[in-house]
Structure 1
Amino acid sequence: MLSVTETATRTGLSTRRVRALISGGVLRATKVGAAYVVDDRDLDDFLRRERPAHTRAFSPRVAWAAAALLDGAQAGWLRADERSRLRSRLTSTGAAPGTWQAWTARLAQTRTTFRASPAQVEAVLSAPSTVRSGRSASNLVTDPLVGLASATVWTSTLDDVDHLRRHLGLLRSDAGNVTISTPPPIGLTALGTDGHNAFRLVVAHDLLTEDDPRSTSAGTALLNAITTSRAISS
């Protein structure tokens, strides 16, 4: 059984919000004396059913810091007290995909799709200004989703996107097979730890936003791996 405070820590909500959800019947709880307690199974059910509708997205700087810390990297753009609070939240949260997707909803400042030939796709993936994410990442915990003439990548700046567009002759298209995302200008020093792939939390986020079951399954598996072995940077 979890107290309201423990439930708030597990979910990342305020205690006031947890009490409001209990009062509204959204989150099942039992009253013991003057206090409410929440069963772990009821909390898991809530996270699966309702969490995205009741969570607040991390600010971009916090979302990227979470991704960095979970991969054992530094997040120097946050103050020391902000990193401490974030570490506490990251170590106490389960692997429910809805929770993490809601938290990381503001990772991207821009997300642009282009129509590209197989040769252009390969050029995007091998460009020094890009790191791979989603289906294109090579650090998945399941079989890589190969054989797809597509690319999902991140670049540091909008200038990088424009350079790739002009240099490779990419054509914007809402139904394109190349997706290039950029983070807000928040002082990031890197988009990943190995120079080739985005942070794993970013990869998982991009996989979970795909429509096909293989991608979402891979995203869930990667998220489980991240939360099972949280090598959070100190």
Structure 2
Amino acid sequence: MVIAMEIGVSEAAERLGVGPSRVRQLLHAGDLEGRRVGRSWLVSAEDVARLQGRRRHPGRPLGPLRAWGALDLLDGGAAPWLSYAARSQVRSHLSRLSDADADRWRSMLRGRSRVLRIVAHPAAVPRLLAREDVQPAGAEEAARRGFDLVAFEGRVDEVYVPDKVWPAARSALALKEARPDESNNLLVRIPQRVWPFAEHAPVSDAALAADLLEAAEPRAISAGERQLSALLQEWQRR
């Protein structure tokens, strides 16, 4: 039975300004929530609205190394994986940045991580977090750090895992990627091209804030935007 918060692929495509095939691609990639009913799809109207609200600003996003460099600089780091010239360019970019909203931050920083929706046995999540090379992330960790964020229902556990560690961890803990029509209880973030956190150090506040911008919950997006704006203002004053 179709419920009020679900729409068909054609309507979703019309709302997003894309073709139905693109909507199906988003569903299969897990970038859009939906479920199969027979041979058809029902799409989450709420998730469509979330994507409608994400405007992409003109210009290319920062590459993964520079995106992570920008976040590290905002958090007081030195982005040691960048060359001197690349670091100077990122600094110049941040110094000119003003009145950046959630959409602009998202556009600038997209592509920094591979994000996987994972189905895990409940006992596997604490075992994964017990590894020294895995770090907790997400809204719960942000709230624990003192972000202006109230806990909300429907969250899933989030972790950062190094790219080189993920295959063995996935196999050892029998973790599997969720199908588009399947609910996940874990979100795994794999930074691309660099592990941007010091050895055994927690995920930076800037990274947590950037991740919140990708949430479906408006309160999380607002909290991430406020945190990044505060970090940028502090960095620009230094």
TM-score strictly above 0.5: yes
Q: Give the CA RMSD over aligned residues.
A: 2.9
Task: Note if 1:67 corresponds to 2:71.
Answer: yes
How big is each residue's C-alpha offset from its partner over 1:130-187, in whole Å with a ceiling of 9 and x where there is no partner?
Answer: 1233324243522463776622222221x422222222222321431211121223xx
Residue correspondences, number = 180
TM-score w.r.t. length of structure 1: 0.65
C-alpha distance in 2 between matches for 1:147 and 1:231 = 35
1:211 to 216, 220, 225: 216
Residue 104 (structure 1) shift: 0.6
Residue 230 (structure 1) shift: 1.6
C-alpha distance in 1 between matches for 2:93 and 2:222 = 25
Q: Which moved more, 1:50-59 or 1:139-148?
A: 139-148
Q: Which residue of 1 aligns with 2:96?
A: 92
1:155 to 148, 155, 161: 161
Q: Which moved more, 1:53-62 or 1:166-175?
A: 166-175
Structure 2 stretches of 5 or more lacking a match? 1-52
8 Å CA contact 2:149, 2:219 repeated in 1: no
Trace 1:106-185 onto structure 2 (pairs within 5 A): 106-108=111-113, 110-137=114-141, 138-143=144-149, 145=151, 150-157=156-163, 159-174=164-179, 175-185=183-193
2:81 to 77, 84, 87: 77
Structure 1 stretches of 5 or more lacking a match? 1-48
Larger Rg: 1
C-alpha distance in 2 between matches for 1:122 and 1:144 = 23
Residue 205 (structure 1) shift: 2.1
C-alpha distance in 2 between matches for 1:117 and 1:111 = 19
How big is each residue's C-alpha offset from its partner over 1:22-66, in whole Å with a ceiling of 9 and x where there is no partner?
Answer: xxxxxxxxxxxxxxxxxxxxxxxxxxx997231310011111111
Residue 103 (structure 1) shift: 0.8
C-alpha distance in 2 between matches for 1:166 and 1:232 = 46
Change (3 A) 1:147 1:168: farther
Change (3 A) 1:57 1:149: closer
C-alpha distance in 2 between matches for 1:117 and 1:143 = 28
8 Å CA contact 1:156, 1:191 repeated in 2: no
C-alpha distance in 2 between matches for 1:124 and 1:85 = 37
Is the partner of 2:135 in helix, strand or coil?
strand
Change (3 A) 1:193 1:71: farther
Change (3 A) 1:90 1:107: same
C-alpha distance in 2 between matches for 1:204 and 1:71 = 11
C-alpha distance in 2 between matches for 1:83 and 1:105 = 18
Q: Which residue of 2 aligns with 1:223?
A: 228
Is the partner of 1:54 in helix, strand or coil?
coil
C-alpha distance in 2 between matches for 1:124 and 1:82 = 34
Residue 191 (structure 1) shift: 2.8
TM-score w.r.t. length of structure 2: 0.64
